[in-house]
Chain A
């Protein structure tokens, strides 16, 4: 009779988390100042969080930072999404910024189940309002919206290269 038994292995197998990247590695995820449970109080605070996160990213052969336009795009998308959450979304209920292999992943949650709407203006007519959402869609590589009973979550990916 075979006395050996197979024991199922419980618990997490060794995986890659933010702490596994090695000593001195740049943080890959940023939470707004005030602790992970808080959300940025306005667009400027959210931009500050993203700025700090991007500043830690070494990119390019000489170890230089990210291209100016990439930082601009990331800040613009951050600002628009957070502004919309407060202005049209019944309030910002969640905010995360994370560096992944694909780029900067921004997740913005709000308390409204209304979908973002782009104003139906013809392009290049310099109408006064309604630029925010089209700007997000143009600058982000990918945007997804997930609805749930209490609101929605918008995830935007900004390519960093």
Chain B
């Protein structure tokens, strides 16, 4: 994968919970805006929670982090819980760890766990 392709798929469950599946690389070129749009939409939708499946994210840098933090802010403002679901690749974990932003999020080790948290 060249990293130019990013796929963001939004699924809404019948109980209003939203699953955002992200696949590919999250950087300043690869459509972080799509992710921001999906997160903003989910926050506005007022579902019972939003889960972001990051298990398919091979790489993310600060641009990707920016999108996630922006989404977190929107969810905080809307009062909708946001959970990041893993398992995360080493690079993604490293990004959160080195920037000290892991504590800013609710993180689950799988999508299943994220929905039952």
Contact = CB atoms under 8 A, between A and B. Distances in A.
Interface of A: 42-45, 47-48, 68-69, 71-73, 75-76, 79-80, 83, 86-87, 123-124, 126-129, 131-132, 134-135, 138-139
B25 interface: yes
B70 interface: yes
A75 B59 contact: yes
Tier of interface size on chain B:
20 to 34
Given A69-B90, A69-B94, A42 B29 contact: yes
Contacts, number: 82
B90 A68 contact: yes
Interface in B83-116: 90-91, 94-95, 98-101, 103-104
A83 B3 contact: no
Given A123-B100, A126-B104, A83 B28 contact: yes
Nearest to B5: A44
Given A83-B63, A128-B70, A132-B62, A76 B30 contact: no
A104 to B, nearest CB: 15
A134 B59 CA distance: 18
Contacts of B2: 44-45, 48
